[in-house]
Amino acid sequence: MRVLLLGAGGYLGRFVADRLLADPAVQLTALGRGDDADVRFDLSTGSPGALTRFLDAVHPGVVINCAGAIRGTASELARHNTVATATLCESLRRSGCRARLVQIGCAAEYGPSQHGSSIAEDAVARPGGPYGVSKLAATELVLGSGLDAIVLRVFSPTGPGTPAGSPLGRLADSLRRALQHGDGELRLGGLNVQRDFVDVRDVARAVHAATLSAAQGVVNIGTGHAVRLREAANALARISGFTGTLHEVEGMPGPRHSPEAGGHPAPVPQVSAYPDGCGAWQQADVRTARDRLGWRARISLEESLADIWMEAACRL
């Protein structure tokens, strides 16, 4: 099976590539902006005609789109997430390869949900920020394209390679610095948020399953269990060996003034609420993934956190 992977150099894309390369039945080609791509192409600025010619030359059976951006201005997010997906869909429509499209969506497309609820795929999507809006627009383009396509709405990916800018990534870095400098207290904010954390390696398994499935439409990829960020922080502190105090503060505190530093502001390690516009609660209904892909999450949050810490500790 010839598979074309877009965004192989990104957080999710790297693990998807590893998963596919482990399958001897897959012939993988990586297309992207980085030097490590097999073919250089910027989906956000490239023309549909150029991509169509490439598709006709390579003739993949499956195209996986892991490309995109999670941060930036509204226009930047629209260009990298929405316009790029429009280019891909148009190229696939023009091409004679008739490839199946596996699009990586995200739970931010749903927006806020009721506390205690599990979000099913038929929930009305009301994204609460520009990132979710740009990803929802991409999903609508895929679903309306007439292509053989599936959109995997990934909830909160975690595990090895977790970006340093994410709440768990920042917490791991704060714990590393606290251990390095002998600090006995970390001041943290935003720990009341609850998210459905799913390991990035399980996400890669779901993508692999989607390439082999005939399922179409939207499929949630999560664990089906929301975890309070406070609980994840406590577990990560325990795994790291930090014996100090995690002091939770209301909201997002400003700089702390240290008398020892002559009253100058000192940085306060803190974890912010998820900037995804989804409010305080998000939990996936994962029955569709189980029934249509034969997939369910296998890796525990404890194992994901241990791998996050292992990478952070290497920077000590």
For 32, phi and psi rounded to 5 degrees?
-175, -175
Report pLDDT for 167: 87
Give the separation between CA 159 and CA 298, rounded to whole angstroms.
13
143-174: pLDDT as tens digits? 999 999 999 999 999 999 998 888 899 899 99
H or E, element range at 177: helix 167-181
Calculated CA dihedral for residues 298, 155, 153, 19, nearest 10 degrees: -40
Name the pLDDT band for 262 (thresholds 50, 70, 90): very low
105-143: pLDDT as tens digits? 999 999 999 999 999 999 999 999 999 999 999 999 999
- What average pLDDT does the segment 271-281 reach? 75
Structure tokens at 178: 């606290």
Give the separation between CA 209 and CA 286, rounded to whole angstroms.
14
- E strands, the chain, in order: 2-6, 27-32, 39-40, 62-65, 100-106, 149-154, 156-158, 185-189, 194-195, 197-199, 217-221, 227-228, 245-249, 256-257, 265-266
In the chain, the amino acid numbered 247 is H
User: Domains plus CATH for the chain?
Assistant: 2-158+198-224+282-298 (3.40.50.720)
Q: What is the mean pLDDT of the chain?
A: 91
Calculated CA dihedral for residues 37, 307, 204, 130, nearest 10 degrees: -80
60-105: pLDDT as tens digits? 999 999 999 999 999 999 999 999 999 999 999 999 999 999 999 9
- The 10 Å Cβ neighbour count of residue 266 is 11
pLDDT-above-70 percentage for the chain: 91
Question: Looking at 7-16, 257-266, 271-280, which range is the least confident one?
Answer: 257-266
pLDDT-above-90 percentage for the chain: 81
21-58: pLDDT as tens digits? 999 999 999 998 887 889 889 999 999 999 999 999 99
Calculated CA dihedral for residues 199, 203, 206, 208, nearest 10 degrees: -120
- The 10 Å Cβ neighbour count of residue 154 is 25
Report the DSSP pairing between strands 227-228 and 194-195. Answer: antiparallel
Q: Give yes or no for residue 271 having a pLDDT over 70.
A: no
Structure tokens at 241: 């060996």
Report pLDDT for 316: 57
In the chain, the amino acid numbered 31 is L
Give the separation between CA 85 and CA 93, rounded to whole angstroms.
12
Helix (H, G, I), strand (E, B) or coil at 102: strand
Contacts of 109 (CB under 8 A, 6+ apart): 125, 127, 132, 135, 136, 139, 153
Q: Give yes or no for residue 273 having a pLDDT over 50.
A: yes
Question: Looking at 68-72, 248-252, 291-295, 300-304, which range is the least confident one?
Answer: 248-252
DSSP for residue 184? -
161-219: pLDDT as tens digits? 998 888 899 899 999 999 999 999 998 888 899 999 999 999 999 999 999 999 999 99
Q: Give yes or no for residue 254 having a pLDDT over 70.
A: no
Report pLDDT for 164: 82
